[in-house]
Structure 1
Amino acid sequence: MTFAPAPIPSRTQYVLEAIKHAILTAQLRPGQALVETELAAQFGVSKTPVREALKTLAGTGLVVMSQYKGVTVRLVDATMAREVYDVRLLLEPEALRRSVNRKASLEAAQEALERADSALDKADRSLANRDFHRALYLPCGNPLLARMLDEVRDQAALVSTVAWSAVPSWEREAAEHREILRLALADDAEAAAGALHHHIASFVRRAFPDDEDGGGAA
């Protein structure tokens, strides 16, 4: 039996994934300008796939396109962080509760947790943590719910990248991940959902605390 070779990713997809990875691993910083000609030269492509990739990234909320400033990596502030994490608080614990109640396999979450624990740098750790959370909600049985969480996934990762740069609290988050997975594997849907809710809420409170003086958080 012969198998057809896997399709080669398009130039646009290649550029898209490269820029996204650079943003989510802090190689490209919030507010940094993304110049089409420079990116095209860097990736050895024409400006067209770069332009299309940037449009897609604007749609996911990772970059901002302005008539006057051009394209920049999205800035993260307390308001943006709380909006994104509010959506996660509303949807993600419920999705995990459904995943557990459906007796869905959480093997992918276990694998992602192990990758995070053995990560050599914060970039690999961040990507593994993203995979961990997705592995909890993806088998919830409601594709629309999973897609809604996927839509804020990149923005949530950008928030955590910025937060970790200021307060490197990944060891605490890793311990919370292990407890969430332990409860889920024990088929305790309510406790697992509650632990996940606390995990998400406490992270954004630590990273972007309320500023009673009105100065805001960066």
Structure 2
Amino acid sequence: MTSLPDAVSLSPLPALGPAPTRSGLIVESLKSAIFSGKLSPGETLVERRIADQLGVSKTPVREALIVLERSGLVATFNRRIEVRRLSFTDVRHIYEQRVLLEPWAIEDAARIDPGFAAARQALDDARQHAKDGNTAGQALANRRFHRGMYSSCENDFVVKALDSLQDLTALAVVGVLWERWPRGAAEAAEHEAIYEAAHRGDAKAAAAMMRDHITASIDLVRRHERRSDGHSAERDSLSR
């Protein structure tokens, strides 16, 4: 009888590349709709309706919604799944986490990929979207710029954490900040300065500028947060 060869004598199998699952593709489709404003904060997400629109069964849609709920982009209220509404306090907390991680990640990424080619492309795209008046496209390009600056960081845990925070930032921009954000031109200039510093090899300067950049957003959100709290208190007093 011929015996099977020992496992150690077998040639190792080649690693499989990442294969997108159907639920993964649905996650990306829903994210795109949320970040572009096609799905608004508070809008109900119905499994059957999404399945019909995408031509899939309800099962991968249900799986996709679970992923989005874990990421914080959707939430369940009274058995309804909705695009999450963020308060100014939520947004401040998001930026406060980013300011702790993102500058460090940029310094680390500069050791590995000093070219930051993806960030450069995102800047060019953002500039074109601004000329075209495409606010949603500009916001998404800005998100890609930030990811292009930190994604080469060696620490995958930090990259994944920042990816999640960037998703929530994109939701904040659509749901909370678009109509109240006067820093568009200033942010574009800051992005250019951050990229130029990193590209010429001054990672510490790029990290410091990114810290200041995010801190400016925290300060602006905090001002809106105080005004929002004041309006809430006024409404409460009037209802008594």
| TM-score between both structures, scaled by the size of structure 2 | 0.79
Match of 1:106 in 2: 116
Pair 1:177 & 2:191 matched: yes
Pair 1:62 & 2:73 matched: yes
Counterpart secondary structure, 1:104: coil
Distance change (3 Å), C-alpha of 1:158 and 1:216: farther
* CA–CA distance in structure 2, aligned partners of residues 62 and 168 of structure 1: 25
Match of 2:29 in 1: 18
Pair 1:46 & 2:60 matched: no
Distance change (3 Å), C-alpha of 1:165 and 1:45: farther
Matching residue within 172, 189, 193 for 1:159: 172
Does structure 2 conserve the Cα–Cα contact (< 8 Å) formed by 1:103 and 1:187?
no
Question: How big is the shift at 1:15?
Answer: 1.9
Question: How big is the shift at 1:193?
Answer: 1.0
| TM-score between both structures, scaled by the size of structure 1 | 0.87
Match of 2:212 in 1: 198
Does structure 1 conserve the Cα–Cα contact (< 8 Å) formed by 2:114 and 2:198?
no
Match of 1:118 in 2: 128
Counterpart secondary structure, 1:15: helix
Structure 1: which 5+ residue stretches go unaligned? 1-5
**Structural mapping, 1:70-149, within 5 Å:** 70-102=80-112, 104-119=114-129, 120=132, 121-149=134-162
Does structure 1 conserve the Cα–Cα contact (< 8 Å) formed by 2:114 and 2:199?
no
* CA–CA distance in structure 1, aligned partners of residues 212 and 23 of structure 2: 38
Counterpart secondary structure, 2:147: helix
Does structure 2 conserve the Cα–Cα contact (< 8 Å) formed by 1:63 and 1:71?
yes
Q: Over aligned residues, Cα RMSD in angstroms?
A: 2.3
Counterpart secondary structure, 2:76: strand
Question: How big is the shift at 1:208?
Answer: 4.6
Q: Which amino acid aligns with 2:147?
A: R
Counterpart secondary structure, 1:71: strand
Does structure 2 conserve the Cα–Cα contact (< 8 Å) formed by 1:104 and 1:139?
no
Structure 2: which 5+ residue stretches go unaligned? 1-16, 233-240
Identity of aligned residues (%): 37
Distance change (3 Å), C-alpha of 1:20 and 1:97: same
Counterpart secondary structure, 1:141: coil
* CA–CA distance in structure 2, aligned partners of residues 12 and 61 of structure 1: 17
Distance change (3 Å), C-alpha of 1:55 and 1:97: same
Question: How big is the shift at 1:138?
Answer: 1.3
Q: Which amino acid aligns with 1:138?
A: S
Count of aligned residue pairs for this structure pair:
211
Residues 156-211 of structure 1, C-alpha deviation per residue, up to 9 Å, x if partnerless? 21112231243364322111100111111122222211110111121233245241
